[in-house]
Structures are given as C-alpha cells and as structure tokens.
Structure 1
Amino acid sequence: MNDFAEWVAPIATMLAAIMTASNLGARLTGFGFIVFTIGSIAWTIVGLTSGETSLIVANGFLTLVNAFGVWRWLGRQSTYEQGGRSAERASRRSSAPSLFGANGIAGMPVADCHGKHLGKAVEALLECRSGKIRHLVIASSSDAGLEEDLRAVPASQVCFERDKARLRIPADVFDRITPLDGSDWSELGYGK
C-alpha cells in the first residue's frame, strides 16, 4: 500500500496543480481539487506508514481545504456558470440582444477584424455608473511565447461574439497600441 501511495501522492499533486493553475473553467478546476484530494489522502497514507506526523497533519488539513475547493468549484461556481450559459442560449433564441456571461471574458480568444488570432482577453474594465465596458485588456505572446504584452483596446473597437472577441481593427494597428506598464494601468483611468 505504501509503495502505491508514494507514487500516487506526487503524481496526483502535480496533475492537480496543472489542472487548477490552467484556470480553464469551474469544471476543470473542480476536478483538479478532486485530484488534489486524492493526492493529500495518499500523502497522509505515506505519513502514516512512515511515522511522519507533520505529513499527516499537513495533508489532513489539505484534504479539508481540497474538499472545500471541490464544493466551491464543482458546486457553487459551476452552478453560476451553467446559469450564465442558459441565459446565453436563451438570448440567442429570442429577439432580444444576445448575452454572454462576463465570467467568460477572461481567457476569451481575441481576433483582429480579419480573423487573425491576437491573444486572449485578461480583463474588462467597466464604467461604474453605466456598467458598460470601457476597455478590453488583451494579452498577446511574444514570438518565444514566454512573455506577454498587455494592450488595452477601447470598447468601441471590440465586438463580442459567442466564443471570442473580434476587434474592429487589423493586427498591425493593434500592434501599434502602446503596451501597458506591468501592473500600473492608471493611464486607463486617466490617472497619469
């Protein structure tokens, strides 16, 4: 049993870390917490068979935290996302304007006016008073793919489709937008 647990524990922990860090939606994150729970139980077994009290205590606690994560992401958050998707589907069948859940903006693929993939949306900045989107912040990878440039595009230049955002400008115009400065986006609020 201990040999099996010694293999399951690190494999489950690494796999769960990838699943949750990917942030690919509530369902995958929730399943990541299930895999984390399997890993923490396996680590607890390793601790029990090796007499390592700290491993038992830490992973006993982590099992409880992981159970909370399962409830949070497969229960509550998944329900919210399903509700948003049902509203989206219903709006497409009605004469009212189509809806999409704002929860789906982060990670949404972004293309230029010709359909060329530019990157992904990472944030939408809304006006407090009206609730309208003012800027869409888009992350585009460098050629090496290790670094990202963040550019804010005014909402007037963005058209949201069901599963992506399409800019009303071509890629070369997008590329000329000055990248945002790290974590200081104050110029978007006209603070600079």
Structure 2
Amino acid sequence: MTLRPCRTALRRRAPEIALIDVALASGTGTRLRGGGFFWQLRRPARRSARETPSVEEVAGLIAPAATMIAAMMTAANLGARVTGSGFVVFTLGSLAWSAVGFASGQTNLLLTNLFLTMVNLVGIWRWLGRQRGYEDGARRAAERSRGAAAPSLFAASTLAGLPVSDIRGEEIGKTVDAMVECKSGCLSYFVVASGGIGGIDESLRAVPASLFECHADGLVLLMSAAEFEKRDTLDSAAWPARLPRAPRHEPEPASGGGRPSREQAHVTAPGS
C-alpha cells in the first residue's frame, strides 16, 4: 500500500500545537507523530454515467415513498376505490421493503414485510373487490331510481358523510350518522357536524329526520342556518336516546311521519 504524505492543519485549543505531518491511507488509521490516531472518512466513489443503480438502492427509494402515499390514501377514507388503491400502493411498498431486507441481509425486515404483503393483498380483495362491488351496485340502483316512476332511492351506507344545506341553499355541514327506530324502521334523527377544520373543533347537533328533504346531491334542512345554530350541541360520546324536541321557534314535525313543507319552514326563518 502506498502512503501519500500531506500536511494537515489541525486547530486545537492548545496554542503550542501547530502543523503536523500525517500520512493518510484510504479508509485506514495512521498514527500521528504526537500520538493519537487519525481516521479519514472516505467519500463514496462517484458512479460512472453508464453504471446502473443497484436493486437495493432503487427499492430503498420506492419503499418509503410508497408507504407514505398509501398511508394518506387509506386514512382519507374516500371510498372503496381510493382505499383499495391505497392497499395496492401499500403492497408495492412492502415488496420494496422486502427487497431491501433481502439485499441487506436484514431477516426481520424481510419476514415482517412478507407478512404485510399478504395482509395488503387481503385489503385489496376487501376494498377493490367486495366492497367496491357493493358500492357500485347501490350507486347504480340509486341512479336508475331517479328516472323510474318509483320513489328515488339512496344507499343507507351513504347516510354518513352526506352534505347538508339549509333552506336557502347555504352549506351547513355534513351528516355524521343517523339513528333508526328498531320497531318502525324509520329514521329518528340525523347528527350533523358543522364548523371546524378536518373534524377538529367541530360541533355536533341532532336534528329530526322529518326536517330534512333528500336530494341526489345531499340533504336539505328545512330551516335556516341561523336556526340550526340555535340547536343544542351534542357531546361526541353522548347522543340522545330519543328524538330531540324542537325548540319553540322551530316548527314541530307533523304527526304520522310527515314533514313540514318548504313554505312552512321558510315562514319561520328569521327575516323572511
């Protein structure tokens, strides 16, 4: 091995130490004249333009990117198609991590991601296979009912997340869920979330189902946004056990499951 002498300036707190001669060997330590040991950190050799990256390097880039993208897709809960596609990306990420584990000899990493790959395949079948078929069937039935003589239909699974607007068309919020009476099978009330950003600092209010009109693009609340804001807010973990009573300024739901008309609700709106 050939050692190339060079002069290195080492600044230390002791003023009596100045320049010393050291012999540098690539990747090895060389004893200094004054004692001690000097280690040289080697820079990675530059890859030539024609040299292709290794499988481990490519997989190391794909794995974290795919995992982060898939996590965002599944957490968004945007339906069976998006969630199922998220599991497809998850599978790509777990395969890439498996390649990294195999190439680097990390057995734990390899075995863990092989197991996660099987879990992700189940998720693909669950969301892109079965659940997507359910949603497509319900959507097509709802679309066909709009042009038929029978009353229009909508899937009960869509009761959560429906946009809600007031009698004037102003958007209020979205439905969180709906409560159904077991004996009659009728909807008792909707819980509507309003305000906040991304579910943070939102307000929940229970509104009788008879005060809504169902439309293809969501629910229309037969009252103004100002009247809606006057309703009592709910604790997210303590919903009412029975139909909430209407305030004095609000029209009572008609008996027999009827509902007030748009004209009746509009008369009670402030300033109308």
Fold shared by both chains (TM-score > 0.5): yes
| Secondary structure of the corresponding residue to residue 150 of structure 1 | strand
Alpha-carbon RMSD across the aligned residues, in angstroms, is: 1.7
**Deviations for 1:160-184, whole angstroms, at most 9, x for unmatched residues?**
1112111111111111121111212
Q: Supply the distance in 2 between the matched residues of 1:150 and 1:159 (Cα, whole angstroms).
A: 19
* Deviations 1:51-96, CA, capped at 9 Å, x for gaps: 2222112211111111111101111011111111121122111111
Secondary structure class of the residue paired with 1:137: strand
Going from structure 1 to structure 2, the CA distance change for 1:144 and 1:108 (only over 3 Å counts) comes to closer
> In the alignment, is residue 133 of structure 1 matched against residue 187 of structure 2?
yes
Q: Are 2:236 and 1:182 equivalent residues in the alignment?
A: yes
Deviation at 1:49, TM superposition (A): 1.7
Where 2:151 maps in the other structure, the secondary structure is coil
Which 5+ residue runs of structure 2 have no aligned equivalent?
1-54, 244-272
Q: Counterpart in 2 of 1:98?
A: 152
Q: In the TM superposition, what is the alpha-carbon distance from 1:143 to its structure 2 partner?
A: 7.1
Q: Does 1:27 align with 2:106?
A: no
| Aligned counterparts of 1:189 and 1:67: Cα–Cα separation in 2 | 43
Q: Deviations over 1:10-41 (max 9, x none)?
A: 11111111111111111111111111111111
Instruction: Report which of the two structures shows the higher radius of gyration computed on alpha carbons.
Output: 2
Given candidates 203, 207, 218, the residue that maps to 1:149 is 203
Measured in 1, the distance between the counterparts of 2:195 and 2:56 equals 44
Could you tell me which amino acid in structure 1 is paired with residue 126 of structure 2?
Answer: R
Instruction: Please state if 1:18 is matched with 2:75.
Output: no
Question: Would the alpha carbon gap of residues 75 and 145 (structure 1) be closer, same or farther in structure 2, given more than 3 Å must change?
Answer: closer
1:87 counterpart residue number:
141
- Quote the offset at 1:144 in angstroms: 9.3
In 2, the alpha carbon distance for the partners of 1:158 and 1:105 equals 12
Larger helix proportion of the pair: 1
Instruction: Report how far residue 188 of structure 1 moved.
Output: 3.4
> Identity over the aligned pairs, expressed in percent?
49
Higher relative contact order (CA 8 A, sep 6+): 1
Deviation at 1:142, TM superposition (A): 2.8
How far off its partner does 1:145 sit? 6.9
Secondary structure of 1:188 counterpart: coil
Partner AA of 1:188 in structure 2:
A
Count of residue correspondences: 189
2:167 is aligned with what amino acid?
A: C
TM-score for the superposition, normalised by structure 1: 0.92
Q: Distance in 1 between matches of 2:218 and 2:122?
A: 32
